[in-house]
Structure 1
Amino acid sequence: MNAFDDTESLITVRDWLRFAVSRFNEARLFFGHGSDNAFDEAAYLILHTLHLPLDRLEPFLDASLTHAESEQVRAMLERRVRERLPAAYLTREAWLAGHHFYVDERVIVPRSFIAELLQDQLAPWVEDADAVEDVLDLCTGSGCLAVLAALAFPSADVDAVDLSQDALAVAARNVADYDLDARIALIESDLFATLGGRRYDLIISNPPYVDAAAVAALPAEYRAEPALALGSGEDGLDATRKILAAAGDHLKPGGLLVVEIGHNRDALEAAYPALPFTWLDTEGGDQFVFMLRREDLLEPNASGSTTV
């Protein structure tokens, strides 16, 4: 018997929460798209389905559900187990740096250490946030980092670039939700390909960076995301190499390049021994986001990779 067919005895939010945690653990679901454990994810899905505040579980634990509410919760929890989709695809929402974004299967679920850095306006590397006039967000996906950059740098216009028309359609919705259409331009491009001679004070990017071996081993929840936004060649650095090769030509004097590269720090430093990477501190550590200045990139041989 399907465990979800025998739920008549589940009456309260507490009952459904216990049931969901048991089913999620039994199914060995993978968590990593907003929560990292069965309890938090179950609580989120239940509260979202019941239209309750996401940060106030305790007052509602012993509240009884109507029959219709129970059916809605059951359907949501069963989909999570049966389809093994990230919770964000089921709820059509994600949160990043305290901001809400629309998401669906056309984009990866927002998760970036750069968001954390933008909350602090990239201090101390950016000395005057009001002086930042032009920002480029490469591989914008859902547009979340472009939105956060526009909020962090109120004087800036932001170009948000992606190769995927589908992703740009999602980004357009998020840009509109934040009423930033006048400041964020959505551009279909393979990285810098269609940008001509545009130059920026700041370029940020959370590009694909998963290596081939890791892509092959991804759990179902990650395989539900667009493959184009995850894998980047045998060592995960294909997109980053292209960015390093061209970024210097698209930065203003003193401009900054900030790129997230996952767990590839050692491989990147070995491939570019002449580049003076600055590794930025985040909640996850100093392994995931690097910064370079335009002048670093324009040094002779600086952007030449030793990797064939």
Structure 2
Amino acid sequence: MHRVHFTGQDLARTVVRVPEQPLSETLFALELLARNGGGEKFDSWRQRTTNRLSRRARSLLTLARTIRPVPDLLHMVESPAGAHSAPGKGIRPLDSRRQNIAGMLEEFHKVAIAPYWERIHACLEADCAARGRRVLSGGIEALLSTLHPSVRWRSGVLEIPGHRRYDVSPQGTGLLLAPSLFLVDGPVLIAGADENRPPVLAYPVAVDPASSPLSSVLVPRSGADSLGPLVGRTRAAIMKSLTDACTTTELGRRIGISAASASQHTNVLRSAGLITTQRRLNTALHSLTPLGAALLDGHQRPHIPHLQLTATS
């Protein structure tokens, strides 16, 4: 059992957000692929990814069956000196090995994550928005107590299932709650060596297979495919009104149409990849995807970040 002990300052600084770098998501995807996890909803992604991997990147799968990508590979590539230490043994440099693994991870990311990242990011952002609304209605304790069925909130202590007893005190830094699409078995607590950075609790995001971000590779659409469904003021008004995530009823109220009509229009926008919908219990929350936001702002499709590792230090 892992336990996170909160102070009042830790609660005040606990946040839910998508990590800026997709490193942890890449590592979770690596483990899922290496261990054939995730079930049927990952089948098409698994097949496409396996077929496109280079021989070098495939060797990473073999490594991931021997050690856990999180935390083992994560700690290795995040180490500022490309080294790790063992109690009483000092620092043992691993620069060349780290560079090799970092390069393989970057190759894996380009195939397994980058082609889907806009949709993945939108899905994770929608989950963050839904949990943010939970904070507004029930406070931070309501958020922590509903993260995952296996997580327990007891009198200032967050309990996460684990193979061994492990206690973490954030010491005023708070806790970063990070949603993950590829983490399927349960939440994972990641505590780094830097005491000035908050520990991270990655937790699974449930996705409807019918609207999975991994259903197909995201490719540029023709004008007819992407702009045709947007002709008309109603759908443009819907996109302009989505400055923050909202429900179908709220969306209809914002632009003066019925909830049924709003639902029909959001179906079209979602099919075009311009909005995403996250379902929580009986509530559907709509938000713009990066592609939708870019189109609304009149810019080109947003940049899909590469996995950036210090592989040449």
Same fold flag (TM > 0.5): no
TM-score range, shorter chain: under 0.3
Larger relative contact order (CA 8 Å, sep ≥ 6): 2
Query: Counting helix residues as a fraction of each chain, which structure ranks higher?
Result: 2
In the superposition, the TM-score normalised over structure 1's length comes to 0.28
